[in-house]
Amino acid sequence: MSGICKVNYPLYCCHCLDDEAFVIAGGGGAAKTGVRNSLEVLELRKSKKKCQAVSIDQLETGKYAVMSMSAVCPTEPADKKRCLMALSVGNSCDVYSVTKCEECSNKTVEDKPSLTKRKKGSTSEENSKVERKQGISNYKFNLLHKVESVPEKGFQTAVQLSRDGTLLVTGSSDGHLRAWKVPSLVKIFDSPGHKEDVTDIDISPDGKEIASVSRDGKAFIWDASSGHKTLELHASWNMHMTSRSFKFRNCRFSVVPEQSSRFVIFTSHTPLKRGPGDVTKRSCCITKWARKRDKEGKESGSFLPALVQKTGDEAISAIAVSQNGVFVGVGFMEGSVAIYIAFSLQCAHRVKQVHSIFVTSLCFVNDTEHTRAITGDCDAALLSVSVDCSCHMTKLESRTLFSLWLALFLCVAALVGSSIYLHSVGLI
């Protein structure tokens, strides 16, 4: 675990853009505290065998802090440097086109005679701060749409873009789930699904289904084309569990590794308090949902709980799934971070109190040769942010390397043990 950056405002969101760049966002909100509301693009860089995040661009978000964020980057070569980003800001959802400016990012301070030159021996982070102050922009933010569908006193609480960027779904404080086609912004549906704030939403990899979770503790699956509820996850969970004293906290769809046509759902659960004086600690858990398969391997029917894993009595605050569907990241209210194996929900790595207060958002770094050259030889690298104004990276060291060291240790132990035995019987 390492702290890769620190800012001067609370952080609520993080999301990877590509192999190097990721976005963090947050702020002091509408209260006049003097704490700015901002979004920053950071770049992962390797410095002295350590991984650091350097701020390379930023966007001020005005009166409101970004409380939820979603970003997708097309895979087509022609558009690989342009991403679509949706931000929940106050009672609106702002949709931006974010384009990497190669001409700008390739320019250094020395290229502009009006700007002071870099100091010798200065760090990349110091140079980055100088560049931002002197107007060198690495990304172009173009506001495409400002969607205002929540009542004046309400606010957007969750936002999600489909993986192909053609569907926008928002959840709000009035319990409604709303969806639009992108880029036409034609409204698909406006459904009053929950009684309280929608706290989390996600869209299936094929864009046909939506999962939502609310502060009321309930979770639903929706038809993305009509806005009709197709499954009550909380009802199904209660039917298959021995205890009903839990509420849903987060939801994430995930592809099945090496089977891109199949996908599963991961949800997190926290125990319900039974009364104001109840201080009993109860374990939280995460659940993996899957559809039944017939003899031919075809999926059918509704999602059912396939695996349930207890995570301890520390309350869960955020979850994330790696892009390849191999790992599940979990953030906790006491600042801890854990990485679970998606197939078995076995805990592979857990670090206590990574942050000084609750984790607000998580995202996995893309697993490519390029990112491994920066982060080091690890199976997974999980970014986490918190209202403690910091961003940390938790790495799951390579299991291959671990197995090698374990084999070497066992060989040495066997040799030492054999020597002691032979010496004891007088053979050496």
Ordered by start, the domain boundaries in the chain are: 2-403, 404-428
Q: Are 63 and 33 in contact (CB under 8 A)?
A: no
Burial class (CB in 10 A: 0-12, 13-18, 19+), 75: exposed
For 326-345, give one letter per residue: b (16+ CB within 10 A) or e.
bbbbbbbebbbbbbbbbeeb
Residue 410: how many CA atoms within 13 Å on its side-chain side? 6
Q: What span, in angstroms and rounded, lies between the C-alpha atoms of 149 and 100?
A: 30
Q: What span, in angstroms and rounded, lies between the C-alpha atoms of 127 and 114?
A: 16
Tally of CB atoms within 10 A around 150? 22
Two structure tokens written together for 369: 């040769």
Starting at the earlier edge strand, list the strands of the sheet with 167-172. 156-161, 167-172, 176-181, 187-192
* pLDDT at site 241: 77
Q: What span, in angstroms and rounded, lies between the C-alpha atoms of 14 and 390?
A: 11
Two structure tokens written together for 211: 């999962």
Residue 313 CB partners (closer than 8 Å, separation 6+): 281, 282, 283, 284
The DSSP line for 122-176 is --HHHHHHHHHHTT--SEEEEEEEEE--S-TT--EEEEEE-TTS-EEEEEETTSE
Tally of CB atoms within 10 A around 38? 22
pLDDT of the chain along its 428 residues, tens only? 578 899 999 999 999 988 889 999 999 988 778 899 999 999 998 877 788 899 999 999 999 999 999 999 866 545 556 899 999 999 899 999 998 876 554 443 334 333 333 344 444 444 444 444 444 468 899 999 999 878 777 889 999 999 999 999 999 999 999 999 999 999 999 999 899 999 999 999 999 999 999 999 899 999 999 999 999 999 998 888 766 788 999 999 999 987 878 899 999 999 987 556 666 678 999 999 998 876 666 777 789 999 999 999 999 999 999 999 999 999 999 999 999 999 999 999 999 999 999 999 999 999 888 888 888 888 999 999 999 999 999 999 886 544 555 566 677 777 777 777 556 656 56
* pLDDT at site 232: 94
Q: What span, in angstroms and rounded, lies between the C-alpha atoms of 353 and 334?
A: 6
CA 378 distance to own-chain centroid: 18
Q: Are 350 and 396 in contact (CB under 8 A)?
A: no
Peptide bond into 113 cis (omega under 30): no
213 φ/ψ sector (left φ>0, alpha ψ -120 to 50, else beta): beta
Residue 352: how many CA atoms within 13 Å on its side-chain side? 3
Q: What is the pTM of this model?
A: 0.83
* pLDDT at site 105: 47
Q: What span, in angstroms and rounded, lies between the C-alpha atoms of 329 and 254?
A: 12
Two structure tokens written together for 59: 């966007």
Burial class (CB in 10 A: 0-12, 13-18, 19+), 283: middle
Structure letter (DSSP) for residue 111:
G
Starting at the earlier edge strand, list the strands of the sheet with 259-271. 246-256, 259-271, 284-293, 299-312
- E-assigned strand segments in 257-353: 259-271, 284-293, 299-312, 316-321, 327-332, 337-341, 347-351
* Planar angle of CA 337, 338, 340, nearest 5 degrees: 160
Two structure tokens written together for 219: 């979770």
Q: What span, in angstroms and rounded, lies between the C-alpha atoms of 151 and 229?
A: 23
- CATH number of 2-403, picked from 3.30.465.10, 2.130.10.10, 2.60.40.1930, 2.40.50.100: 2.130.10.10
CA neighbor of 336 nearest in space, from 359, 352, 357, 321: 352
